[in-house]
Structure 1
Amino acid sequence: MANVKVNDLNMYYKVCGEGEPLVILQEAGIEISSMYNVLDAFAENYQVIALDNRGAGRTDMPDEPYSIEMMVEDTIGLMDKIGITSAHFLGISMGSRIALVTAVKYPERVKSLILNVAAVSFPDVFKSILDVSLENADLREKLLQKTGIVFIQKYPPNPESFLRQLKAMADFDGRDYLDQIKAPTLVINGTKDHLVPVELTEELTLEISDVKLVLVDEGHYFFALTPELLIKYALDFLEELKRKRF
C-alpha cells in the first residue's frame, strides 16, 4: 500500500497478487480496507490494483465539485504512475461508471469490464431526493444516516466529500456512451436493488456490443454482504475470456 501524487491528489492505493492486472473501482464512500476480502480473492489469480477514489478513504478529499470524468483521469493517472498499460476493470456502483467512461475514452487501456450494481443514469426520484437534501440540513442529515455503512469504516469519508461523490453520480448520464464500448462486458446486478432498479440494468445492456448479464436475488450492497457471488461470476467471466484467447 502506498500514496502517490496523481493530478491534484495524494492518492492511496494497493497492489496485490500476480498475473494480468485487474483494476477495482469502488462504490461511493467505500475505501480499500473495507474490501480486503474481495481484493484477496481476486489476488489469487490476478494482479489487483485498488484505489481510494477522490473523496474517500486515505485519498485527498478536495473541497470542490467532483465528476465521474474527473475520477477517470485519476484512475488513468494512477495506472501511468505505476506502469500499468492495460487491465481488466471491475467497477462497483460509482466505480462502474468510472470504468465505463474509461473504456470509452481510453479503449486501449481496458481489456474487459465487470460492472457491478451498475447503471448509466441515476433514478430521477433519487436525484430529486439528493438535490433537495443538499439544500436542507435536516434532510441532508437523514440521507447521511441512511448511508451509515459508509461512516463506520476504518477510514470513512467526511460527509461533504461523500455527498460530492453522490452528486457526481447523480449528474452523470452515460447513455450516449454505451454503443462505443468495445470491451467484453459482464453486468452483475441484483433484482432487489432499489437504488439500481432492473429497468436501469436493462438500459445498461441494450447497446453494448459484447455484453453478458447476470441477475442475482440480492440488493445493492451484495458486493459487501455476499461478496462470494460477485467473486464467482467475475472470475468465471475472466476465465472464459482467457480460454477464448488461448
Structure 2
Amino acid sequence: MDIDLYYQEKGNKDKTPLILLHGNGEDGSYFKNQIDYFSDKYRVIALDTRGHGKSPRGTEPFTIEQFSCDLYDFMVRLDISNAVILGFSDGANIAMKFAMRYPDKVRALILNGGNLNPKGVKRTTQIPIEIGYRIARWFSSKSPDARKNAEMLGLMVNEPDIEPNELASIIVPTLVICGSKDMIKESHTKEIAENIPNAKLSIIKGNHFIANKQHATFNNAVEEFLQTIF
C-alpha cells in the first residue's frame, strides 16, 4: 500500500470491529452520531478513504476497486481478521466490492444508499454531477483543484460497475438501508437487496443522508439488525 489511511477509533479493542466507510467527498466525521453510539458495544473505526479527509491521495488509481484494496491493506496493518462493514453511498459501493473480493474479512454488511452503477442515481441528481464532471475535466490540466474535483465526480459518473448477479457471492448477513426520498432510485435499492442472499431491506423516512439527519432511527435499525447476529 502506497499510503496510510487516516482513521478515528473509539471503543474497546477486544470488541468486534465496526468499520465505517463515508461517501464521496466526505470523511469519517460524517459518522459522528454512529461513532459514539456504537462504541460501547463495538470497536468503531471510521476511515478517511484515499484522497478524502486526512488520507493522502497517493499514486494508485482513484477507483472503487482500489479503495476496496486499500481497506484490505488497512485491516491487515491493524491485524483485524474480519469486521462488520457499514458503508454509506460510495462507502457502500466500496463495501460491496470488498465483500465480493475478500469474503473472509467480512462478518456482516450494512449498505446505506449504495448503487450498482450510475443509472441507479435519480437523473435530477445525476445530471448536475455529469455537467460538473465535464467542466472539471476541461480545466483539470490547468488547475489542481479542478483535477481533484474531476476525480471525485468521476467516481459518480463512471462508477461503480457491479452486475446484479455478482451480488450472489455476498453470503454474510446484510442490511440494505436507504431514505424514502433518497437520491438512489428505490427500485435500484430493492434490486440490490433482492440479489444479496437473505438480505434485509429497511427504508427510513428521509433523504440520502439518514445516518446524519435521522441518526436515531438509523442507529436503531442498524442495532436491531446487528442484534440478530451477535
Per the normalisation by structure 2, the TM-score is: 0.86
Tell me the CA shift for residue 163 of structure 1.
4.2
Aligned pair in 2 of structure 1 residues 65, 79: CA closer, same or farther (>3 Å)? Answer: closer
Tell me the CA shift for residue 129 of structure 1.
4.3
Once residues 100 and 68 of structure 1 are traced to their aligned partners in structure 2, the CA distance between those partners, rounded to angstroms, is 10
Aligned pair in 2 of structure 1 residues 81, 215: CA closer, same or farther (>3 Å)? Answer: same
Moved more, 72-81 or 30-39: 30-39
Once residues 97 and 234 of structure 1 are traced to their aligned partners in structure 2, the CA distance between those partners, rounded to angstroms, is 18
The 5 Å alignment of 1:19-38 reads: 19-38=15-34
Aligned pair in 2 of structure 1 residues 52, 85: CA closer, same or farther (>3 Å)? Answer: same
Do structure 1's residue 9 and structure 2's residue 3 form an aligned pair? yes
Once residues 32 and 146 of structure 2 are traced to their aligned partners in structure 1, the CA distance between those partners, rounded to angstroms, is 23
- Residue 39 of structure 1: which of 35, 39, 52 is its match? 35
Once residues 168 and 10 of structure 1 are traced to their aligned partners in structure 2, the CA distance between those partners, rounded to angstroms, is 21
1:28/1:162 contact within 8 Å kept: no
- Residue 166 of structure 1: which of 153, 163, 175 is its match? 153
State the Cα deviation string for residues 82-135 of structure 1 (Å, max 9, x = none): 110101110001100111111111000001100111221223735554343222
The 5 Å alignment of 1:192-211 reads: 192-193=181-182, 195-211=183-199
Alignment size in residue pairs: 218
Partner of 1:232: 220
Once residues 225 and 127 of structure 1 are traced to their aligned partners in structure 2, the CA distance between those partners, rounded to angstroms, is 22
Do structure 1's residue 48 and structure 2's residue 44 form an aligned pair? yes
- Residue 223 of structure 1: which of 211, 214, 229 is its match? 211
Once residues 232 and 162 of structure 1 are traced to their aligned partners in structure 2, the CA distance between those partners, rounded to angstroms, is 35
Once residues 237 and 166 of structure 1 are traced to their aligned partners in structure 2, the CA distance between those partners, rounded to angstroms, is 32
Percent identity over paired residues: 30
Do structure 1's residue 190 and structure 2's residue 179 form an aligned pair? yes
Once residues 63 and 131 of structure 1 are traced to their aligned partners in structure 2, the CA distance between those partners, rounded to angstroms, is 25
* SS of aligned partner of 1:44: coil
The 5 Å alignment of 1:76-95 reads: 76-95=72-91
Partner of 1:132: 131
Tell me the CA shift for residue 218 of structure 1.
0.8
Structure 2 alignment gaps of length 5 or more: 140-144
Higher relative contact order (CA 8 A, sep 6+): 1
List, as ranges, runs of 4+ consecutive aligned residues in structure 1 with deviation greater than 3 Å. Answer: 62-65, 124-132, 158-163
* SS of aligned partner of 2:203: strand
2:8/2:47 contact within 8 Å kept: yes
Tell me the CA shift for residue 159 of structure 1.
6.2
1:121/1:200 contact within 8 Å kept: no
1:20/1:87 contact within 8 Å kept: yes
CA RMSD, 1 decimal: 2.3
Do structure 1's residue 180 and structure 2's residue 169 form an aligned pair? yes
Tell me the CA shift for residue 14 of structure 1.
1.9
Once residues 215 and 34 of structure 1 are traced to their aligned partners in structure 2, the CA distance between those partners, rounded to angstroms, is 20
Tell me the CA shift for residue 58 of structure 1.
0.3
* SS of aligned partner of 2:110: strand
